[in-house]
Chain A
Amino acid sequence: MAHDWQPDFEQLVDEHQSMVFSLAWRMTGDRGLAEEIAQDVFLELDKHLGKLESAAHACFWLRRVAMSRSADALRRRKVRGMDLWVEIDEGHGAKTEERTSPLGNRLEQLLSTLPEPHRAALVLRYQEGLMPEEIAATLASPLATVKSNLQRGLKLLRAKASSHLREYVRVKEQASGL
């Protein structure tokens, strides 16, 4: 089908590098690996530029390939647990600390301990703001599975936060005047 949209590779990189990198980083928990994945995703995009029909299609394609490549990398490297997040906190440097609160960092650390399908659903829901239907399309999963992963992931993360993040509760209690 003919389409008028003319993709500009550099412009697409500028617009979406933060999204692709963040997805890969939150899925793998490894900054270096996330950069490699982001590069691979954009090089793949370069090969598929002619097949993309619109800016929205490009964004959808990038999300889908970033998630798929991250899952592949996780399977290859068998990355799991908290250890890598120590590396991230050390490697990300001052810029991260400026942008995110310690609470945010801890929530990200807890996210990394969730099973991969739960993590994928939560990242797409709360980083990208996607609806369950859009997440299902991105992950090529049944909608019911995505909804279940979202619910379970959210409950699990909240439970972990309750038991691990005393400061989280304290801050919330102070904020509510308790």
Chain B
Amino acid sequence: MDFEPMEDFERDLRQAFERRPASPGLKRKLMEKRRAHKPHRHSHFVLWQRLAASVALAAVLGGAAVWRDAEERRKGEEARRQVLTALRITGHALNQMNAQLAARDRAAQQ
């Protein structure tokens, strides 16, 4: 028993092998499964979010500590400068007083 040419057989195959529609429930089931998988992905997201927040908090605290250290050093430097200025003024005043006393002594001797 023989068939028509191969081209006709191939045409029949194309007709026979048309895509079949998926059942209407396939997409629904798929979306349900996808939703069920989401909390897992969500927990990963939350984990990364927490990690990022921890890194940010550590950076802020470290920055604050460095800033406080620098601020204290600046204040100490300022206080040292003020003390030196006060000592300079005092020294200058003492020198003036000393000079005046010396001048008075010289005048008394003459």
Which residues of A are in contact with B by a Cβ distance under 8 Å? 9-10, 13-14, 17-22, 25-26, 35, 38-39, 42-43, 46, 92, 95-96, 99-101, 103-105, 107-108, 111, 122-123, 126-127, 129, 154, 157-158, 161-163, 168-169, 172, 176
A39 touches B2 (CB 8 A): no
Could you tell me if B33 and A43 are in contact, using CB atoms closer than 8 angstroms? yes
Please tell me if the beta carbons of A103 and B16 are within 8 angstroms of each other in the complex. Answer: yes
- For the residues of B in contact with A, the DSSP-based class is helix
Q: B18, A100: Cβ atoms under 8 Å?
A: yes
Contact B4 A18 (CB under 8 A): no
- Does B42 have its Cβ within 8 Å of any Cβ on chain A? no
A68 to chain B, nearest CB (A): 19
B19 within 8 A of A: yes
- CB neighbours (8 Å) of A13 from chain B are 27, 30
Residues on B facing A (Cβ under 8 Å): 1-4, 6, 8-10, 12-23, 26-27, 29-31, 33-34, 37
Pick from B1, B12, B20, B27: contact of A25, CB below 8 A.
Answer: B20
Contact A39 B30 (CB under 8 A): yes
Contact among B4, B8, B23, B37 for A43, CB-based, below 8 A: B37
Measured between beta carbons, the chain A residues less than 8 angstroms from B37 are 43, 46
Q: How far is the CB of B32 from chain A (nearest CB, A)?
A: 10
